[in-house]
Amino acid sequence: MNKYELAVVVSAKIEDDARAAVIDKVKALIARFGGNVTEVNEWGKKKLAYEVQKMNEAFYYFVEFEAEAGAPAEIEHRMRIMDGVIRYLIVRQDEA
């Protein structure tokens, strides 16, 4: 099992309940592909570096998880069409 970190930028235009539902969907998606979520950090609303989909602010979440090597590609494939997600990025964490 490799350790990964998923950065998720969620739209600021959706309600708090919908935003929580998006993060729950992300956690369920990780579990669906054999991953184990270890930590979820919410950074709150931040200003974006540039305008994305006519928005200047969004909510940032960082999800740390463990999964097999093929899981991140499948997760990214599903997140591409997820409502409320503006941007996402999965990076592998070093063992050091």
pLDDT in tens, 18-66: 999 999 999 999 999 999 999 999 999 999 999 998 999 999 999 999 9
Whether 79 is covered by a domain: the verdict is yes
pLDDT in tens, 67-92: 999 999 999 999 999 999 999 999 99
- Cβ atoms of residues 30 and 2 within 8 Å: no
Instruction: Supply the pTM of this predicted model.
Output: 0.89
Measured torsion, CA atoms of residues 74, 80, 65, 61, in degrees rounded to the nearest 10: 180
Whether 15 is covered by a domain: the verdict is yes
- Cβ atoms of residues 2 and 77 within 8 Å: no
Whether 75 is covered by a domain: the verdict is yes
Question: Largest alpha-carbon pair distance within the chain?
Answer: 40
**Segments forming the whole domain that contains residue 17:** 2-53+67-86
| pLDDT class of 95 with cuts at 50, 70, 90 | confident
